[in-house]
């Protein structure tokens, strides 16, 4: 009897939730709650959902929900499937771009629950913002990779320094045995390079150090690099020197300057077994400034990976740019990067417009790609690759933008030519006529 009386008293007592408006409770949630009708039009959205998707419920009523998102085809298919099957669906790390904030990509965990009522079928969406969590995960991955790379470099440095010491000692002994003073020039270069590489290894293995600057003659550094280039240059390559004697001495770090010049002039690479040099064209030196190259990096990363922002503050710093790794980018970015066929075994036509003074993607790399395609396809290479050089243009510019329409027209006709077996369309023109100039097709 006492138990029945206690239950009656409990039922008669007002619930703690009775003091709150249900709409206020939903608006207090950090998870977005969104209700859609059978036409996928919003009928309710709490404050968190409106903030996440950058829209107002008052203006959204009666309009399809996907109107407020860019590239929402994938989400639309999931919503329609939930309506048709009546089954709940969960999708993790779904990237959406609100129309009200097109530069902000949000990563959401979406849970869709179909509901049936007197007014027909509805969908209840729970939207959990995982953007910050994903950024933290990516930043931790970057730090872990950096720690692993640092450990590997330290171990590798120890193994490199031992043979460098032996190389230096052997060069010193050889110098004593050489009869002619002119021959000793080569041993002095070997000794200097061994010292430079030892210092470079020490700087890589240890903490960052300030540059060791001293007053140096720029011509002496250039002459040292010249001897290295001459020793490595294959037959038929002539290296010309043109020094300005009026240049004064400057406070420079000798090792860094030598390495910088070697990076510009000698960056050998292997592509499909083809050895090539990607040095810059003579006359393009005015485009080699560090600020210009870093500016290209900022632009390129923003275009290649719009999700990249390690700390989520909306600004990608120079240090963050240097840490960008396409292998850690979301699947859509990685897939885009893999689409370009770098094997040379092409099965679809490609048109390349390249500035002859490009300081970022060297013209030498395009030359090597031409040779790679030729090695793979033989005489058929010209059926799949066309290269047009744009004189004196750097990494993109008004000349390229003005020729883009002509490139696309030529590519469409070339694709038609392939698909029709040559019955329609045409091969790329011998001269590409752009808005600011005409560019002959490269013969390779």
- Spans of all domains in the chain: 18-129, 134-277, 285-440
Question: What tokens does 50 get?
Answer: 């409106």
Query: Which of 179 and 37 is assigned the larger pLDDT?
Result: 37
| Integer Cα distance of 191 and 208 in angstroms | 25
The model's confidence at residue 288, banded by pLDDT at 50, 70 and 90, is low
The predicted pLDDT at position 383 comes to 92
**18-129 topology per CATH:** Beta-Lactamase (3.30.450)
SS3 label, residue 14: coil
pLDDT surpasses 70 at 339? no
Instruction: Identify the residue whose tokens are 């930043």.
Output: 139
Residue 330 pLDDT: 61
Other C-beta atoms lying within 10 Å of the C-beta of residue 377: 17
- CA dist., res. 110 & res. 94, Å (int): 7
Mean pLDDT on 73-92: 86
Buried b (16+ CB within 10 A) or exposed e, 272-291: eeeebbbebbeebeebeeee
Residue 153, pLDDT > 90, answer: no
Quote the tokens at residue 225: 């690099």
Mean pLDDT of 81-109: 82
Task: Give the whole-angstrom CA distance, residue 389 versus residue 370.
Answer: 13
* Span 311-328, average pLDDT: 70
DSSP H helices, 86-180, are 131-177
Neighbours of 1 (CB within 10 A): 5
Instruction: Report the pLDDT value the prediction gives residue 337, as an integer from 0 to 100.
Output: 47
Instruction: Give the separation between CA 101 and CA 123, rounded to whole angstroms.
Output: 24
**pLDDT score recorded for residue 91:** 85
Confidence of residue 9 (pLDDT cuts 50, 70, 90): very low
Residue whose entry in the numeric block shows the structure tokens 């209840």: 124
Res 277 pLDDT > 60: no
- Going by the DSSP 8-state scheme, the letter that residue 68 receives in this structure is G
Mean of the per-residue pLDDT values of the chain: 78
Question: Where would I find the H helices in 16-130?
Answer: 22-27, 47-53, 57-60, 73-85
pLDDT at 196: 79
Of the candidate ranges 63-72, 307-316, 368-377, 392-401, the one whose mean pLDDT is the lowest: 307-316
Q: Compute the average pLDDT of residues 283-300.
A: 62
pLDDT at 8: 47
pTM exceeds 0.85 for this model = no
Choose the most confident range, by mean pLDDT, from 99-113, 202-216, 314-328, 344-358. Answer: 344-358
Distances in whole angstroms, Cα of residue 391 to Cα of each of 4, 354, 397, 399, 443 = 95, 9, 11, 9, 16
pLDDT at residue number 93? 80
CA-based nearest residue to 48, from 131, 132, 135, 127: 127
Letter string b/e over residues 401-428, b meaning 16 or more CB atoms within 10 A of that residue's CB: eebeebbeebbebbeebeeeeeeebebb
pLDDT of 361 reads 76
Largest CA distance in the chain: 120
Q: How far is CA 55 from the centre of its chain?
A: 31
Please give the residue that has the higher pLDDT: either 295 or 370.
370
Per-residue pLDDT, 386: 95
The predicted structure's pLDDT at residue 4: 47
Cα separation, 116 vs 367, in Å, equals: 64
Q: What is the mean pLDDT of residues 420-443?
A: 91
Reduce the DSSP state of residue 423 to 3 states and report it. Answer: coil
């Amino acid at each position: 009897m006492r138990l029945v009386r206690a239950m009656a008293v409990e039922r008669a007592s007002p619930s703690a939730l009775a003091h709150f408006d249900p709409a206020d409770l939903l608006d207090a949630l950090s998870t977005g709650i969104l209700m859609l009708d059978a036409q996928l039009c919003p009928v309710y959205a709490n404050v968190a959902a409106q903030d996440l998707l950058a829209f107002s419920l008052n203006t959204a009523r009666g309009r399809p929900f996907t109107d407020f998102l860019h590239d929402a085809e994938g989400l639309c298919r999931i919503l329609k499937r939930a309506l048709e099957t009546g089954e709940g669906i969960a999708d993790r790390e779904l990237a959406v771009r609100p129309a009200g904030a097109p530069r902000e990509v949000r990563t959401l965990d979406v849970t869709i629950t179909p509901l049936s009522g007197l007014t027909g079928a509805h969908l209840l969406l729970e939207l959990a913002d995982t953007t910050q969590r994903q950024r933290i995960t990516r930043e931790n991955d970057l730090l872990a990779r950096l720690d692993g790379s640092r450990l590997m470099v330290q171990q590798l440095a120890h193994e490199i320094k031992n043979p460098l010491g032996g190389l230096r000692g052997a060069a010193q002994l050889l110098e004593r045995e050489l009869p002619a003073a002119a021959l000793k020039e080569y041993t002095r270069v070997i000794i200097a390079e061994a010292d430079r590489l030892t210092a470079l290894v020490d700087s890589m293995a240890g903490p960052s150090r300030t540059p060791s600057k001293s007053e140096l003659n720029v011509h002496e550094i250039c002459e040292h690099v010249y001897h290295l280039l001459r020793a490595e240059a294959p037959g038929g390559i002539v290296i010309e020197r043109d020094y300005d004697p009026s240049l004064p001495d400057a406070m420079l770090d000798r090792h860094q300057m030598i390495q910088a010049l070697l990076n510009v002039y000698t960056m050998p690479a292997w592509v499909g077994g083809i050895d090539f040099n990607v040095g810059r064209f003579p006359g393009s030196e005015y485009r080699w400034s560090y600020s210009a190259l870093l500016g290209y990096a900022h632009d390129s990363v923003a275009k290649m990976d719009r999700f990249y922002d390690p700390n989520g503050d909306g600004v990608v710093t120079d240090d963050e740019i240097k840490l960008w790794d396409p292998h850690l980018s979301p699947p859509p970015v990685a897939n885009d990067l893999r689409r370009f066929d770098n094997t040379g075994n092409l099965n679809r036509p490609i048109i390349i417009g390249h500035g002859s003074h490009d300081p970022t993607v060297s013209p030498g790399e395009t030359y090597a790609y031409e040779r790679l395609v030729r090695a793979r396809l033989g005489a058929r290479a010209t059926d799949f690759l066309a290269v047009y050089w744009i004189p004196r243009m750097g990494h993109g510019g008004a000349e390229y933008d003005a020729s883009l329409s002509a490139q696309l027209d030529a590519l469409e006709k070339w694709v038609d030519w392939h698909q029709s077996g040559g019955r329609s369309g045409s091969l790329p023109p011998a001269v590409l006529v752009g808005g600011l100039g005409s560019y002959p097709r490269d013969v390779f």
